[in-house]
Structure 1
Amino acid sequence: MLISVINPNTTSSMTGKIGRCARSVAGAGTTIEALTPTMGPASIESHYDEALAVPGLLTEIAAGERRGVDGYVVACFGDPGLDAAREIARGPVIGIAEAAMRTAMLLGRSFGVVTTLGRTRGRAWELVHRYGAAAACRTVRASEIPVLDLELPGSAARDAIAQECKRAVAEDDVDVIVLGCAGMADLCRELSDLVGVPVVDGVAAATTMVEGLVRLGLTTSHRSEYAPPPPKRYRGLLRDFQIAPA
């Protein structure tokens, strides 16, 4: 089985971290390829960043389809391009926010999200409602750590995230913590030991979900909304994204 774990930003060091996390939970016989798009933002911290990350993500999905990839993980907590990716992929495509939230609801009656910048909280809440998790999610807390600072050596970022995790448990009474950025993947076990509740990393959760769906022989339904997009002409910089007739 071949699973592509795609980091929609273009920071290769973060992709390496994401890949190590995914491989640590993959089962025997599963190959994980961690991919960095050749175009897009260095980090995703705004709606603008998210929109411009999608073409690079879809390029990697299309390339994976030509190589026979079995399933995909979208490794950004905003789940950018998830619907579009499901339209063009034969195998399952899972975003890390959806995977983390659904996993958290299996582990406790409530959860809280600890993310990076405060400006991303609105997108996190939007996804909470989209995924039917509003009754379980009690808080979305921001550590005010820029995404790329997660790549810097030292403990400042870790300590800021840990403090918000502790506050979520003590002040918001959550049973489970969801980490709101793929760049936090390496902190999961340390934070769980520190705060005393399960801490869910979406990269690991999404990887095992994709793996399980492939083993079950299940994929996205292409009956209606996720049917392949209708062929049409694309112009300018997007001309290479044109869908050819079947």
Structure 2
Amino acid sequence: MNRRPRILVINPNSNEAVTEGLRQALVPLAFAEGPEIVCETLAEGPIGIETQEHVESVTLPLRRRVEAANDVDAFVIACYSDPGLHVAREGTASPVFGIAECGVLTALTRADRFGVIAIKSRSIPRHLRYLRQMGLMDRLAGERPLEMSVAESASGEGTLARMIAIGRELRDEDGAGAIVMGCAGMARHRRPLEDALGIPVIDPTQAAVAMAIGTLMVR
């Protein structure tokens, strides 16, 4: 292959501020000899994916985007509900990574039990269904909500302070040895949150892109 491999990171909501946060979070994973990392906003998506209806609404647009991409070597769906993951995999021969799956699997390498910071209470049942499907409920210490929107988690005032408070509850009351940030919009808060909590904090988009890079570099 003459060109550099390309990883397409798709933000399934239409909030460009979230996508820009992803770009900044992925800067440390870019290197001259490595794959090109491109972040893109799904224009058809809602401003935030916060309900099951939102999840379902982006499934087929994601599939169409993946099918149409002839110059992409790996895809990352950058939403913690992993919308359209399986139908997108059917539409391409390239690997497709979901950030929730990758974030949780990465957390399992860092601690015996992990906690998740969700954006809202109504997100938690959806996340728990997914963990049951993965057979990982016995490794979940707990999941607690910020009670913020996706947009607020990306750029709202006081977001980090709220995340630190919730993270301490997960660590001290629930026994989490690592924290997974349960929304792509939280990306910019990973390092200060980890510094404040003193335990590993996983940005699931970074985790998914790291897996994609590893896959492409050894193929």
* C-alpha deviation, 1:12, in angstroms: 1.1
Query: C-alpha offsets along residues 93-128 of structure 1, whole Å, 9 cap, x if unaligned?
Result: 110100010000001111010110000001111121
Distance (whole Å) between structure 1 residues aligned to residue 39 and residue 149 of structure 2: 22
Partner of 1:211: 213
- What TM-score do the two structures reach when normalised by structure 1? 0.83
* 1:11-90 map, 5 Å: 11-27=15-31, 28-64=33-69, 66=70, 68-90=71-93
Q: CA RMSD in A?
A: 1.3
Q: CA deviation at 1:153?
A: 4.8
Q: Secondary structure at the match of 1:61?
A: helix
Identify the residue that residue 184 of structure 2 maps to in structure 1: 182
Q: CA contact under 8 A between 2:34 and 2:213: conserved in structure 1?
A: no
Residue of structure 1 equivalent to 2:12? 8
Runs of 5+ unmatched residues, structure 1: 218-246
Aligned to 1:152: 155
Question: CA offsets, 1:168-226, max 9 Å, x none?
Answer: 00101110001000000111111011011000010000001011112232xxxxxxxxx
| Alignment pair present for 1:123 and 2:126 | yes
- Aligned-pair CA distance for 1:131: 2.2
SS at match of 1:135: helix
> Normalized against structure 2, the TM-score is what?
0.93
* Larger-gyration structure (1/2): 1
Partner of 1:194: 196
Aligned length: 214
Identity %: 31
Shift of 1:83: 0.2
Structure 2 residues not aligned, in runs of 5+: none
Which one of the candidate residues 161, 164, 188 is aligned to 2:163?
Answer: 161
